[in-house]
């Protein structure tokens, strides 16, 4: 009886083992490591997108506050008028806080000063001396102005006024020297045409007609549209009638 029971158990165990051996194992799933990397990057990208959106919201919330806290600077009545009609301020010698606006072709005109009022007093003193016909003193004032401020916006005008003072003082040789300095130091000065005209007149006064006509010819050639070109043309014709030598 016991032997039969033992055999039965052995048979049952054998059948169970055979059945387990016959069940197929599930296939092993192989995951590509690149797919894991891609998935991780997608998660990181989503996180960064959320952070960017958050920062944009912070910036938008701060921008109105900066504008609201900005101090409103009151605009003066003069500034509003200047914005509506932007004209040149005026400066007169008697009031250094103002600025005078004039044509650069006027004989004793000034433009807007760009440096300290102290040096401008020297310039204005020279103008006053010219008006008083104290030409030697005026020349010294203008030379002092150029020496102290050689790059000043008025420096070329001061050099022209030196030549003009010599011209009014009938010191024609010095007119030639002063106008040559103007042309050399300030080749783009608006006063060069007038200086050339005075140089031509000075040559004529010194009876150097060929040089006078040549100077007038250069003025007409280099500055044909300048008002001084017409005056130079009339003087050239006048000198041509008095001289048999023609300047080509």
Point out the least confidently predicted range of 17-31, 70-84, 114-128, 153-167.
Answer: 70-84
The CATH T-level fold of domain 87-242 is: 1.25.40
Q: What is the pLDDT of residue 26?
A: 55
Read off the pLDDT of residues 8-42 as tens digits, 9 standing for 90 and up: 666 776 666 666 555 555 555 555 666 777 777 77
Indicate the pTM of the whole model.
0.53
Q: Where are the domains of the chain?
A: 87-242
What is the DSSP annotation of the chain?
-HHHHHHHHHHHHHHHHHHHHHSPPPPPPPPPHHHHHHHHHHHHHHHHHHHHHHHHHHHHHHHHHHHHHS--PPPPHHHHHHHHS------BTTBTTS-----TTSTT------S-HHHHHHHHHHHHHHHTT-HHHHHHHHHHHHHH-TTSTTHHHHHHHHHHHHHHTT-HHHHHHHHHHHHHH-TT-TTHHHHHHHHHHHHHHTT-HHHHHHHHHHHHHH-TTSHHHHHHHHHHHHHHHH-SPPP-
The per-residue pLDDT for 60 is 72
């Amino acid at each position: 009886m016991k032997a039969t029971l033992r055999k039965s158990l052995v048979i049952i165990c054998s059948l169970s083992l055979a059945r387990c051996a016959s069940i197929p194992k599930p296939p092993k799933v192989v995951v590509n490591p690149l797919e894991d990397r891609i998935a991780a990057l997608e998660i990181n990208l989503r996180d960064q997108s959320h952070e960017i959106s958050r920062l944009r919201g912070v910036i938008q919330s701060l921008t109105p506050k900066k504008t609201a806290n900005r101090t409103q600077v009151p605009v003066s009545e003069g500034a509003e008028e200047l914005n509506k009609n932007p004209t040149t301020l005026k400066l007169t010698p008697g009031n250094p806080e103002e600025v005078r606006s004039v044509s650069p072709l006027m004989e004793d005109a000034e433009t807007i000063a760009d440096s300290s009022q102290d040096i401008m007093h020297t310039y204005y003193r020279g103008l006053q001396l010219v008006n008083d016909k104290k030409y030697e003193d005026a020349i010294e004032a203008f030379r002092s102005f150029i020496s102290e401020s050689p790059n000043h916006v008025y420096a070329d005008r001061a050099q022209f006024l030196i030549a003009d003072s010599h011209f009014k003082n009938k010191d024609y040789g010095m007119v030639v020297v002063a106008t040559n300095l103007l042309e050399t130091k300030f080749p783009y000065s608006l006063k060069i045409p007038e200086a050339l005209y005075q140089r031509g007149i000075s040559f004529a006064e010194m009876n150097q007609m060929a040089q006078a006509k040549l100077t007038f010819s250069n003025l007409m050639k280099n500055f044909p549209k300048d008002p001084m070109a017409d005056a130079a043309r009339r003087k050239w014709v006048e000198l041509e009638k008095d001289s048999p030598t023609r300047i080509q």
